[in-house]
Structure 1
Amino acid sequence: MDGLIVSKNTSKVGETVIKVLIADDQELIRHSLEIILKNISDIQVIDSVGDGKSVIRSIRKEKPDVILMDIRMPEMDGVQCTKIIKESYPNIKIIILTSFDDDDYILSALRDGASGYLLKGITIEELVDAIHKVHSGSAMINPNIAQKFIELYSEMAKNNQLVQVDKKAIHDVTEYEWNVIKHVAKGLSNKEIASKLKLSEGTVRNYLSNALYKLNLRDRTQLALWAVQTGKSEG
């Protein structure tokens, strides 16, 4: 994030504002992110904290839409925090933003419900894009570790950590829902899926919601994990 410049955006009438919570134990990083995101018209930084327990306290008060979560924090790390938050606040989107390209962390964070895992070397434009995409329901993974995202399935299988789905439920998924699932597994947003399938975003959301309900999965990240590990993302 060093040496990057962001131009200030002009607010649009009726624009949805995304409430963002920053969680990082390094004060310099927190302040830098605050300064950067204040220049984005549809993003509002509602709080900035330095440890896991403060994250939990803050979300009870501030109700953020998206959390930028560091992995290694005192009191409670980002993975533990993610697990607790997603159990109680499933609609809050979490982007793990870290310097550490660590297999165990990637595996745990995604399994516990993180919507993104990004390294701090990304550009400002990539970070802002990730915030917008996870807020709209997409999953975001840094290109530098995307291959590891696939490789982790073999490790998950060894540790019996695969996402489980009732086989009977699979037969209830319609052809239209399968088409959406395949694109979700490739990391596409609802808008991108709608464009490819020539559907409205509302229709894509409905197909996605139906698929999640039928398969008894928590969110699109779990759905993507399941689709890739079972080969359902092919085609």
Structure 2
Amino acid sequence: MISVAIVDDQRDIREGLQKLLDMTDEFRCLATFEDGLTALSSLPGLRPEVVLMDIDLPGMSGIECVRALRQNLPDVHIIMLTAYSDDEHIFQALKAGAYGYLTKGVFPSKILGAIREVRTGGSPMSSHVARRVVSYFSEAYNPMLSLSAREQEVLDLLCDGQSYRDIAKQMFVSPNTVRFHLKNIYKKLQVNSRHEAVAKATRMHVA
């Protein structure tokens, strides 16, 4: 039987999750907590195998609680169960030590499946969260994917040998606007000059 603890400031969610777990023979809810500080002080003594953790908690955020719990309970498997689905919260939670990330509103069967999965070494995520993670690492591997449409247009014209003034005329913008786009391109591609930008674009076959 897999032991689970729940940390969420909404009583109806805590009670609903506890009921879901206790209806099965596979899971056991050890305790529920409405804030991170209480959870942090109590969980080391309970030693649950899995913790379902909200982010928006009073006093201490769920992400802060995850970071602290990982110090005291390095073997605990933490799954975020939250309303937040933006990149900042997703990656902060994963960096803090969460193994999974589900958004509220998922089917109960998905929550139970996620507990099973994380318990056996997996990293369960809601489908759109998983897409954000894949997209993030794709952009990290190929920085060209992070360029905006206008930045890509400037880079294409650079690779064609156009001058800054010619690029400005073709794009119907000022030379200063072209320089602004170039500054962003250099930063995203991690280069320091026009020559380096063109060379990198050519190597990656995207310009």
Into which bin does the TM-score normalised by the smaller protein fall? Answer: 0.5 to 0.7
Task: Report the equivalent of 1:143.
Answer: 127
Q: CA deviation at 1:89?
A: 1.3
Is 1:40 the equivalent of 2:11? no
Task: Report the equivalent of 2:167.
Answer: none
Q: CA deviation at 1:112?
A: 1.7
Give the aligned residue type for 2:99: S
Give runs of aligned pairs for residues 39-78 of structure 1, distance below 5 A: 39-78=23-62
- 2:135 is paired with a residue of what secondary structure? helix
- 1:96 is paired with a residue of what secondary structure? strand
Give runs of aligned pairs for residues 10-159 of structure 1, distance below 5 A: 17-153=1-137, 154=139
What CA deviation, in whole Å up to 9, does each residue of 1:88-124 have, x standing for no partner?
2110000000111121110011112111000111111
Larger Cα-atom Rg: 2
- Partners of 1:111 and 1:61 in 2: CA distance: 24
Q: Which runs of 5+ in 2 are unaligned?
A: 144-207
- 1:141 is paired with a residue of what secondary structure? coil
Q: CA deviation at 1:152?
A: 3.0
Contact 2:4 2:48 in 1 (8 A): yes
How many residues matched?
A: 142
Give runs of aligned pairs for residues 193-212 of structure 1, distance below 5 A: none
What CA deviation, in whole Å up to 9, does each residue of 1:166-198 have, x standing for no partner?
xxxxxxxxxxxxxxxxxxxxxxxxxxxxxxxxx
Q: CA deviation at 1:136?
A: 1.2
Q: CA deviation at 1:151?
A: 2.7
Q: Which runs of 5+ in 1 are unaligned?
A: 1-16, 159-235
- Partners of 1:150 and 1:107 in 2: CA distance: 12
TM-score normalised to structure 1 length? 0.57
Contact 1:71 1:96 in 2 (8 A): yes
- Partners of 2:25 and 2:49 in 1: CA distance: 15
- 1:29 is paired with a residue of what secondary structure? helix
Contact 1:47 1:58 in 2 (8 A): no
- Partners of 2:20 and 2:72 in 1: CA distance: 29
Larger % of helix: which? 2
What CA deviation, in whole Å up to 9, does each residue of 1:62-98 have, x standing for no partner?
1110000001001111111111111221100000001
- Partners of 1:93 and 1:30 in 2: CA distance: 18
Contact 2:47 2:73 in 1 (8 A): no
- Partners of 2:115 and 2:101 in 1: CA distance: 11
In angstroms, what is the RMSD of aligned CA positions? 1.9
- 1:97 is paired with a residue of what secondary structure? strand
TM-score normalised to structure 2 length? 0.65
- Partners of 1:71 and 1:51 in 2: CA distance: 10
- Partners of 2:119 and 2:21 in 1: CA distance: 15
Contact 1:24 1:30 in 2 (8 A): yes
- 2:17 is paired with a residue of what secondary structure? helix
- 1:19 is paired with a residue of what secondary structure? strand
Give the aligned residue type for 1:52: G
Q: CA deviation at 1:150?
A: 1.9
Give the aligned residue type for 2:125: I
